[in-house]
Structure 1
Amino acid sequence: MRRSQFTDSEIIHLLREADSGVPVGEICRTAQVSLRTFYRWRRRFGGLTAPAVMQMKELEAENRRLRSLVSNLSERLHAPLPGEMLHLPERATRSDTRLQPGRASMLAAERCGGAVVGRFASVRITR
């Protein structure tokens, strides 16, 4: 997505001008933006102040970071175990791409040093 040529504080300033009574058409002409862009800014930054916009940006950055962590963990969960042979079917179907039912419990059992018992449980073996 293309970056805006206006900073967040400039956008907030333009929105405050509109709130104070300056016609939106005049603001758009002087700032050289379309009405559609102005109303998109209003929908996004509506009644926010500068500190609230900074907090929103920080939350968006944290959200991106957490999404990447979840993505990495999901990839690790779907990766083959060290002892497994990786074989790719000639034609993958939708059911082939899902995680096998016993695989999650095998992963849990391997990580906690136990054995797989039943469908969902893993039991820790103590000696």
Structure 2
Amino acid sequence: MKKRYSEEQIIKAIKEHEAGAKVDEICRRMGISSGTFYNWRSKYAGMEVNACFG
């Protein structure tokens, strides 16, 4: 089964949430359930994206 989102995209979504974005807003934009988001958060929380965004 192919992953729909890269780790980079997942970590960016988690960072958005940490910065104050609402979970339901992120989920609606990405087309995922809140359960998926919370699973991602428990798996990837505290990880950094190894790329420069600017």
TM-score band w.r.t. shorter chain: 0.7 to 0.9
- Number of residues of Structure 1 aligned to a counterpart in Structure 2: 50
Identify the residue that residue 33 of structure 2 maps to in structure 1.
34
Name the structure, 1 or 2, with higher relative contact order (CA <8 Å, separation 6+).
Answer: 2
Contact 2:12 2:49 in 1 (8 A): no
5+ residue gaps in structure 2?
Answer: none
Identify the residue that residue 16 of structure 2 maps to in structure 1.
17
TM-score by length of structure 1 reads: 0.38
Q: Deviations over 1:27-79 (max 9, x none)?
A: 0001000011000000000111124xxxxxxxxxxxxxxxxxxxxxxxxxxxx
5+ residue gaps in structure 1?
Answer: 52-127
TM-score by length of structure 2 reads: 0.84
CA RMSD of aligned residues (A): 1.0
The amino acid across from 1:34 in the alignment is S
Bigger strand share = 1
- For the pair shown, the structure with the greater C-alpha radius of gyration is 1
